Structure 1
């Protein structure tokens, strides 16, 4: 592992811990050259394919999902750790399924289910992009479902 401060390749692991909510290991490391300490995360590399609405496939990308959630929760009182926990829950649910392909529609539904419990405004923001509302009536219908 390369040191983020000085770029040296010689680092050592100080501590390793399993993350409680995800399939990841957090490692505390120290650079042997400059003494800088930093953390790294290792995640299971078990690819999940996402089938997009146009029929193409791509690997599941938690960062892409995080960006969408950050947009939906912008200026809301929701911290990054909460969003990461939400994504961890989705990823964990996906890994327990017997198949390794899932539609983007199914992932969107999983996100909406969790956002509805977390924050109604973020839910509507995410739904407006995910469901691609065509007019105000569709938007009003979705609001009515929340009430």
Structure 2
């Protein structure tokens, strides 16, 4: 592993442990050349997923981009970082186990919406405002009203 500080290939692992709900290995490393310490994560990747954007462009699925978008939606919200990591891992598992190598971006967005709805209602609305491209306050009001009705239906159904 190359040191991110000096570029040396002379690094060693000082500590390894399970991370992110046992879906990754966290390795604490030290550079033998400059003495810097840094952390790496190792994850199983079942298959490469291609995300098909609305405009038809294709790009490799980026777990970090997914995590950043969720972190933005949950900024200054009382959601533990471990919970966010679990959410991201769950979404990635669903995508990888779906069997498809190409996934529409809308499917990724809907999975994020489902996960956020269960974890934090404010983060859910924040994400929806960008994902659904809200233009003015009435869009927020309509979305929140619809979400409240869905919650009532879920409660009535015993979900």
TM range (shorter): 0.7 to 0.9
Q: Per-residue displacement from partner, 1:16-53 (whole Å, max 9, x unpaired)?
A: 34435364322232333354443211234531110111
In the TM superposition, residue 111 of structure 1 has moved relative to its aligned partner by 0.5
Contact 1:51 1:101 in 2 (8 A): yes
2:67 & 2:19 partners in 1: Cα distance?
A: 18
- Aligned equivalent of 1:113: 114
- Residue equivalent to 2:156: none
1:80-105 deviation digits (Å, cap 9, x = unpaired)? 33322211110111111111111111
CA RMSD of aligned residues (A): 2.4
Q: 2:107 aligns to what SS in structure 1?
A: helix
TM-score when scaled to structure 1? 0.82
Alpha-carbon deviation of 1:108? 0.7
Structure 2 vs 1, CA of residues 5 and 51 (structure 1 numbering), >3 Å: closer, same or farther? closer
Map residues 1-147 of structure 1 onto 2, 5 A cutoff: 1-19=1-19, 21=21, 23-45=23-45, 46-134=47-135, 136-147=137-148
Contact 1:19/1:25, CA 8 A, preserved across alignment:
yes
Separation (CA, whole Å) in 2 of partners of 1:56 and 1:103: 10
Describe the shift of the 1:38–1:138 C-alpha distance in structure 2 as closer, same or farther (beyond 3 A): closer
Mapped partners of 2:36, 2:108: distance in 1: 39
What SS is found at the alignment partner of 1:133? coil
Give 3-state SS (helix, strand or coil) of 2:110's partner. Answer: helix
Give the deviation of 1:75 after TM superposition.
2.4
Q: 2:79 is paired with a residue of what secondary structure?
A: coil
**Offset from partner CA, 1:116-137 (integer Å, 9 cap, x none):** 1111111111111111235554
Cα pair distance change 1:37/1:67, threshold 3 Å: closer
Partner of 2:134, secondary structure, is coil
